[in-house]
Structure 1
Amino acid sequence: MDLFNNREVSLFIWFCIALAFSLSKETIRKSLRDLIKAAFHKALVRIYLLMLIYIAFLIYMLSEVGLWDFDQTKTTIIWTFTAALVTLFRHDQIREDPNYYKKAVRDNINFVAVIEFVVTFYSFPFLVEFILVPASFFVVAVYEFSKLQEENKIVVDFFDKLSTPFGLLVLTYAGHNFYIYAGEFFVWGTLTDFTTPIILSLLFLPFVYMVAVYSSYERVFGQIEINSSNRDISRYAKWKAIFGFHLRFKLLERWSHATFISPLNSREEVRSSIEDMRELAEYERKDNPVPLEDGWMPIKAKDFLREEGFKAGDYKYVGEGEWFVSSNNVEIGDDILPNSLWYYVSGNPKIAKDLKLKLYVHQPDQEQVAKEKLIEVGRVLINKALGEELDEALIRAIMEARNEQITAKGKSISVIKEDWPNGKPGQYDISILIHSE
């Protein structure tokens, strides 16, 4: 196999053309300067250097066990400045997605990865690749832009239909070459070209985790500096946080949020707050059952609607003894400001007392569909929380957009409508609230 295939050569040429064009425009040059300046901030440069040292260490270890040799230099360089950098800049996803590592492993070791490698291995003739590179970029750009606006749905549908035959054409061409020139594929060099990026990607994940930890501590330490006027307490809180939370950066951030709401004024308060947070984490880990008459286990309650698309963050202290978490919003419709559903859980550190599913009606002309969605998700919530069905009286109250309350399993279940005095006519919000005394 040649050092660079036709696709890689075409990409490089078009990159040079795009760069030359960009440098010829003053406004773009200024934006590039700002981007480069931001990308090479001294804090980031330290991380880049650590990343390169870590990758060099991986290469050394792999070469020692016979899984890397000099022929993999090109593959390793391309992986470093593409996949590794992208993964590094996405380190915040570790904090947001509890299944980050599972997905990362799955994405690297699956059938699609094999297909992509075969398609890349058997590139088209140079002239075809030279035309396809900008054409593909243009199509993807138009497609993604068109998805932002409902009136462009016909364009999106056209490109959806176009992508299927084009994908089949590429797969057919690669499959034909694979059948004719299979001998070129099944050689040791090709196998290592395929496995090297996968192995490096998997071994790179611990470094990304450490970057996420470092980033969290840096952010928390900055907040401590801002929130504390006592330098001695500030310094003490940082050291106690390091020894108290170690690599558990999500717990660190929950503690940081609590201390931002209620600032620490003494060493005793620092020690007590860290110990309380560690005890809470241990309580959640043991999955202690909560009697239904008291409420729900917060760590479970916040995920009652996860399968419906509601992904809640961490259950955090919000002041005056109350703990709270909200989900992302689930949009209903394609308007710029669509009707949307949110899910909220609140209570004390160990027991969730209130579960609320709230519909915000921004588009009154589409409220019927939105209320039907509220009922659909409300059925799931009532079933998960109480093992009951959504009462018909509550369903009628939702459809008529009025208040209603019933009692079930020792809980008050309410439909609560609130008009927006400063909103447009017809705008309001309506909630299903499950409350524990």
Structure 2
Amino acid sequence: MTTRELATLIWLLIGSLACLAVRDIRGSIVNVLKLMFQRKIFTALALYGALLFGLTWLVAQFGYWDSSLIGAVGFWFLFTGFKSFLQSADTGSKDGFFRERAVELVGLAAFFEFFLNIRTFSLPVEFFLQLVLAFLFLMRTVSKTKEELKSVSRLLGSLLALAILWLVVATIDNLVDHRSDIEVHDVIALYLVPIWLTVGSLPYIYLLSLYGGYESVMVRMRASEDPPVSWRAKLGVMVGLKGNLRQIHDFVGVWSRRAGVTGSFSGARRIVKEFKEARS
């Protein structure tokens, strides 16, 4: 674990303890944990964790992961992987979700983050630096919401830009001073961490979204006063929608009800075909 990851972990622990000290927030955290331990969610999360463990083991067999990257994997799960898991139900609400995730891996922001993490500073510097950056970012975010604080927002934006510029210059200087300590293989391994984790986990996120989407469609196919929907109609809808998350998400209202009352495979597929034609 790098000093930056350790400093982040310390700040997260401090923030968690501060939240637990507030009764209302503590109660909300308990409710969230109870929700996470429901059988369906817990099983899906456990399978997700098992997949990531398997991916890590596989990459380690090729020599591109070791214990020094535990922090990188852990923070990827905390800030990216877990977020994708929680948002899996909404994946079908917009086009290009998976394409966006793939583009992010090779974007400028991803490279910039990787560059800054090649070599970090001492723990005290990292600890203080994160405090300053977080303070400037939060204050600027708040000031941007108020018209009378526009000048303050611009000042904070300038200070934030200067802090990031210093970080870039100091990182370059740090890399030059310790260039003999840098192993190319280790740098490549660090760069690949978010790539293989994201690429390897996206199929699982898709399956979660697909399961949740079809489950929602099946519920909407029947009103409370209707008889149970036949499995043939359900199968017809599933085959007709062909795993398209956006279409599954939009197959609501009269469309899902009409497919449910047909009671047949061909009838449900006909409704899905009409739905697609109406969208085109």
Distance in 2, matches of 1:247 and 1:47, equals 19
Residue identity matched to 2:238:
I
Judged with a 3 Å threshold, the aligned counterparts in structure 2 of structure 1 residues 228 and 175 are, in CA distance, closer, same or farther, namely farther
Q: Is the contact made by 1:227 and 1:260 (CA closer than 8 Å) also made in structure 2?
A: no
Distance in 2, matches of 1:76 and 1:265, equals 48
Give CA-to-partner distance per residue, 1:265-310, whole Å, 9 cap, x none.
3424x632422423664x6xxxxxxxxxxxxxx7xxxxxxxxxxxx
1:22 aligned residue (4, 19, 24): 19
SS in structure 1 of the partner of residue 253 of structure 2: helix
1:150 aligned residue (147, 150, 153): 147
Q: TM-score, normalised by structure 1?
A: 0.57
Higher helix share: 2
Deviation, 1:172, is 0.4
Query: Hey, what does 1:55 align to over in structure 2?
Result: 52
> Which of 70-79 and 212-221 deviates more?
70-79
Judged with a 3 Å threshold, the aligned counterparts in structure 2 of structure 1 residues 238 and 127 are, in CA distance, closer, same or farther, namely same
Q: TM-score, normalised by structure 2?
A: 0.85
Are 1:141 and 2:138 counterparts?
A: yes
1:161 aligned residue (152, 155, 158): 158
SS in structure 1 of the partner of residue 163 of structure 2: helix
- Runs of 5+ in structure 2 lacking a partner? none
Query: Hey, what does 2:234 align to over in structure 1?
Result: 238
Query: Hey, what does 2:267 align to over in structure 1?
Result: 272
2:122 aligned residue (117, 121, 125): 125
Give CA-to-partner distance per residue, 1:389-433, whole Å, 9 cap, x none.
xxxxxxxxxxxxxxxxxxxxxxxxxxxxxxxxxxxxxxxxxxxxx
Deviation, 1:101, is 2.6
Q: Is the contact made by 1:227 and 1:263 (CA closer than 8 Å) also made in structure 2?
A: no
Residue identity matched to 1:181:
H
Query: Which one has a bigger Cα radius of gyration?
Result: 1
Distance in 2, matches of 1:38 and 1:64, equals 36
* Structure 1 segment 215-230 matched on structure 2, within 5 A: 215-226=212-223, 229-230=226-227
Higher strand share: 1
Deviation, 1:108, is 0.9
Residue identity matched to 1:103:
E
Q: Is the contact made by 1:91 and 1:209 (CA closer than 8 Å) also made in structure 2?
A: yes
Instruction: State percent identity of aligned pairs.
Output: 18
Distance in 2, matches of 1:118 and 1:184, equals 16
Give CA-to-partner distance per residue, 1:360-393, whole Å, 9 cap, x none.
xxxxxxxxxxxxxxxxxxxxxxxxxxxxxxxxxx
Query: Hey, what does 1:259 align to over in structure 2?
Result: 255
* Structure 1 segment 60-71 matched on structure 2, within 5 A: 60-69=57-66, 71=68
Residue identity matched to 1:5:
T
Residue identity matched to 1:195:
L
Residue identity matched to 1:265:
V
* Structure 1 segment 302-341 matched on structure 2, within 5 A: 315=279
Give CA-to-partner distance per residue, 1:77-119, whole Å, 9 cap, x none.
3323332112222335642332323322221113432332221
Deviation, 1:12, is 2.0
Deviation, 1:205, is 1.5
Distance in 1, matches of 2:132 and 2:46, equals 36
